[in-house]
A and B are shown apart, each in its own frame.
Chain A
Amino acid sequence: MIDGSAAFVAWLGAALIVLADGRRGLALGVGVGTAGLAVVAGLDAGLAVAAVLTLGGAMAALGRLRAGPGGWAVMPPGSTPRLILCVATALIALWIALGITSGESAALRFAVLSVIGLAGARILSSVDPDVQLTAVALLALAIGCAAGLGGAEVWPYVGAALVAAGAGWLPLSAPRAA
């Protein structure tokens, strides 16, 4: 029950990143997604892992709050396709996690697949660097959590947290004219 809810929360966080354009919405998305992933991963791998992931996600969320488009801008006009994407991704991830694959950690499978799918789609579809970096942060956390499917040590989680934290604070050079 808890793991299922946490997986849903992780999906919700990723969906927020897809649907939001403002820095507050994005930060909330990172925070929610981090919470969900941390709980799901922590249930399998332990509290230390959850703490590491939470720290990384928190740093990413804080970094997003200080840079990026202002406001929330959740579901701005024209975001219906994005909403459909979120729902479709959830359904597909659910199908794969429960229907095709087997074993324990179905919640973890759902969480990482849905977050990777949504974060990847957001990177591909967005032209705003801040939005992309937010997606990078959550995608990194998901990759770290996916290591738990293979019974990994703590290092993937540490690496994921570092990448996520860095993505939230990465300075961008101004593009030069051609």
Chain B
Amino acid sequence: MLPEAVELIALAVAALAFALVFAPSVIPRRSLAIQGGAGLVAGAAIALVPIFDVALLVLFALAAIDAAAAGAQRFAVRLRAPALAVAFLAVALIFARVEGPEVLGRFAAVGLVAGLAAAVGLLPYIHPFDGGDESPASPLVWMAFAGPLLGVSVVFRAESVLSVDSGQAFAAMLIGVGVLNMAWGAGGSWLTSSTDAAWRYSFMADWGLVLCGFGLTVVDGQRAALLALFGIIAGRLPLYLASRAAPAPKALPERPINLVIAGALAGSAPFVGFAARILLLRGATTLYWPLAFALALVMLAWLPGSLRLGRSLNVAGGRQAIAVTLVLAVNVAAGLYPLPLLTAAGL
């Protein structure tokens, strides 16, 4: 049982409980509980079952159930990307297991990376998005609930099914797809016209950090990925849910809290995103310093989109203010002292 997976499960449970308590009233608690719980259970099963094929089947079941659940989009459209992910992962496993030329192992690596990206909803396999969906039915649940557990599971299991050569290709592709998503996500969250789409792109950008971290085969990369996932589950997801309340009236002056939220979303100090970036730079520097330079440049692109997203929250007071304050405090604590998180994950 992976300690990282156990920790992420605990985080996801806490995040779901937090969401149930503090989610704005526009999000029905019942559907949040049912779908969030289903996602959580499935994610936990994916991470904990010892056989990869069974994990794939659990993922497939979750995809079918999620697509069938109530939502504005058609079932067909919502099933496609996760089903494709399952197909990619299944073919990858086949290529990894059969005897044949060396290149089959690399194709297996391709399948694993593509499958992971398709399951989570990253570029180039972005899930079709409808901002009118209630939050639990939104594809963001894949990115923030089931996705982290799936990511850890795929990366861990890839080590056992891939050879050394194809493992290197796997790592390189993770970094490539990660950088792509960082750039697209950061730019998209700034330039897109829809605020809901901007949130989705911001999740993609954070996932880019995660993939880069997973792709850096040194332990600092794994630590960075874990902290980035923490930031997604315990930071970005609750803030996204808070933003689903009534949109901020334009007449209201911008309050300091909106900018602090922007800072948290941008990964600036002292939030957990900054610690993740330091570890990512450390890992990249260890392996290949020009990569660290490229990553540092892309990291700066988070800011404009984060400012926009920070301003999209109307922290009116009461429960929502408490929720946002708690989220920010947890992120600051994890950013200044991430050692307990990393130790609990065995890193």
Contacts and interface: CB of A to CB of B under 8 A. Distances in A.
Direct contact of A and B (CB under 8 A): yes
Interface of A: 100-103, 109, 112-113, 116-117, 119-120, 123-124, 126-129, 132-133, 136, 139-140, 142-144, 146-147, 149-150, 152-153, 155-156, 159-160, 162-163, 166-167, 170-178
A170 B64 contact: yes
Interface in B29-70: 51, 53-54, 56-58, 60-61, 64-65, 68-70
Contacts, number: 129
A123 B65 CA distance: 15
Nearest to A122: B83
A120 B115 CA distance: 13
Contacts of A172: 68, 75
Contact of B72 (A109, A156, A171, A177): A177
Given A170-B65, A171-B68, A128 B104 contact: no
Nearest to A170: B68
A162 B53 CA distance: 13
A17 B101 CA distance: 32
B205 interface: no
B101 A100 contact: yes
A85 B53 CA distance: 26
A139 B18 CA distance: 36
A113 B98 CA distance: 12
15 contacts: A100-B101, A113-B94, A116-B90, A124-B83, A129-B74, A132-B75, A132-B76, A132-B79, A136-B64, A139-B90, A156-B57, A162-B57, A167-B64, A170-B64, A172-B75
B76 A146 contact: no
Contact of B91 (A101, A113, A170, A173): A113
Given A101-B104, A102-B99, A159-B53, A143 B86 contact: yes
A175 B70 CA distance: 6
Interface of B: 51, 53-54, 56-58, 60-61, 64-65, 68-77, 79-80, 83-84, 86-87, 90-91, 93-94, 97-101, 104, 130, 132
Instruction: Determine the main DSSP class of B at the interface with A.
Output: helix
Residue of B60, B73, B99 ringed by the most chain A CB atoms within 10 A = B60
B51 A155 contact: yes
A103 B83 contact: no
Contacts of B69: 173
Nearest to B130: A178
Given A120-B84, A143-B53, A172-B75, A149 B98 contact: yes
Given A120-B84, A147-B53, A152-B51, A178 B132 contact: yes
Given A120-B84, A133-B64, A139-B86, A153 B98 contact: no
A175 B75 contact: yes
B79 A152 contact: no
Contacts of B57: 140, 143-144, 156, 159-160, 162-163
A74 to B, nearest CB: 21
Contacts of A170: 64-65, 68
A128 B76 contact: yes
A123 to B, nearest CB: 5
Given A112-B90, A129-B79, A142-B90, 15 more contacts: A100-B104, A102-B98, A103-B98, A120-B87, A128-B76, A132-B79, A136-B83, A143-B90, A146-B93, A150-B53, A159-B57, A163-B57, A170-B64, A170-B68, A175-B75
Contacts of A113: 91, 94
Given A123-B80, A173-B69, A146 B90 contact: yes
A153 B99 contact: no
A126 B90 contact: no
Given A143-B56, A146-B93, A150-B97, A173 B87 contact: no
B70 A173 contact: yes
A175 B53 contact: no
B68 A102 contact: no
Nearest to B81: A124
Given A140-B57, A176-B70, A129 B99 contact: no
A171 B101 CA distance: 44
B144 to A, nearest CB: 22
9 nearest CB pairs, A to B: A120-B87, A156-B53, A147-B53, A159-B57, A101-B100, A129-B75, A173-B70, A101-B98, A103-B99
A116 B75 CA distance: 20
Contact of B64 (A146, A150, A166): A166
Given A103-B98, A140-B57, A140-B60, A150 B76 contact: no
Nearest to B94: A146
Residue of B58, B68, B87, B104 ringed by the most chain A CB atoms within 10 A = B87
A174 B75 CA distance: 9
Contacts of A120: 83-84, 87
